[in-house]
Amino acid sequence: MKQMIARGAESVIYKIERWGLPFVLKWRQDKPYLLKEIDSQLRKLRTSRECKMLTISRALGVPTPAVYSVDLENYTILMDFITGVQFKKLAAQLSRTDLISNCHGFGKLIALLHEGNVVHGDPTTSNVIVDEKSRLWVVDFGLSEMNATIEMKGVDLHLIHRALETTHWDIQEDMLNATLEGYVDILKDAAEPIITRMSEIRERGRYH
Ligand SMILES: Nc1ncnc2c1ncn2[C@@H]1O[C@H](COP(=O)(O)OP(=O)(O)O)[C@@H](O)[C@H]1O
Ligand SMILES: [Mg+2]
């Protein structure tokens, strides 16, 4: 059994069954417009990076699917299937209280990554899954990086801000505030220079 559950710009997500249990097989497909060697190197890099960062992030306290195997010749990762709904799809249906509490939780998870000097690289609401117990899971670590600087963390926050204003335009302000509150809850005073940097990056984008 192999069922396609999502198809993004760079990968296809299959739900497969093994030993009577559900798993996800993430396959990075080729990009026909890229030179073959470059394409292959990029897919290999992102696949191995995602695999490594899923595990590192879990060690920092961020729920991520456990990885069972990685195949760098075929650009695939076999991981746990998380039963739930994309936060992006759920956001519009949630009550204000639940929405705020989920954003708060999202901000805390991003802060745990940043506390461990990891940036996610693509921190949007489509890369967060909310399970039946309202627990948040983070996926899609192909652009994630270690040894992150304040600038890199500021970019991560800026990407959240930008994603919220393009995807959740009617509720973006509440969502951003709640996310930043969760972020500060974890990082305390250390959050301040990063949030300042987020605003600076936003200003730079406006005038250049
Ligand atoms: N382990 C998983 N369990 C359940 N759903 C997943 C899992 N991994 C990804 N998905 C779903 O597939 C979508 C695309 O996966 P993602 O890793 O974000 O790939 P892409 O790089 O194409 O965005 C996610 O937004 C999520 O809804
Ligand atoms: Mg994604």
Q: What is the CATH number of the domain that holds 184?
A: 1.10.510.10
Q: For residue 158, is pLDDT > 80?
A: yes
Torsion of the alpha carbons at 69, 75, 76 and 82, rounded to the nearest 10: 110
Give the domain extent around 120. 84-207
Band (1; pLDDT cuts 50, 70, 90): confident
* Together in a domain, 144 and 202: yes
How far is residue 86's CA from residue 78's CA, in Å, rounded to a whole number?
19
pLDDT band for position 60 (cuts 50, 70, 90): very high
φ, ψ for residue 195, nearest 5 deg? -70, -40
CA–CA separation, 79 and 108 (whole Å): 24
User: What is the tally of structural domains in the chain?
Assistant: 2
Q: Are residues 28 and 67 in the same domain?
A: yes
Centroid of ligand 1 to alpha carbon of 129 (angstroms) = 8
State how far the Cα of 113 lies from the Cα of 55, in Å rounded to an integer: 12
Res 178 pLDDT > 80: yes
* pLDDT at position 196 over 70: yes
For the whole model, what pTM was predicted? 0.97
Q: Which atom of ligand 1 is nearest to the CA of 86?
A: 27
Q: Is the pLDDT of residue 21 over 70?
A: yes
What is residue 132's predicted lDDT score, i.e. its pLDDT?
A: 96
Asked if residue 92 and residue 76 are part of one domain, the reply reads: no
The residue from 29, 45, 80 where one domain ends is 80
Tell me what pLDDT residue 208 has. Answer: 63
Tokens of 162: 């930008």
Question: Do 153 and 91 sit in the same domain of this protein?
Answer: yes
Phi, psi of 84 (to 5 degrees): 175, -165
Say whether pLDDT at 102 is over 80: yes
* 109, 74: one domain: no
User: Which residues are near ligand 1 (CB < 6 Å)?
Assistant: 5-6, 8, 10-11, 13, 24, 26, 65, 79-82, 86, 126-127, 129, 139-140, 142
Q: Please indicate, yes or no, whether residues 64 and 122 belong to a single structural domain of this protein.
A: no
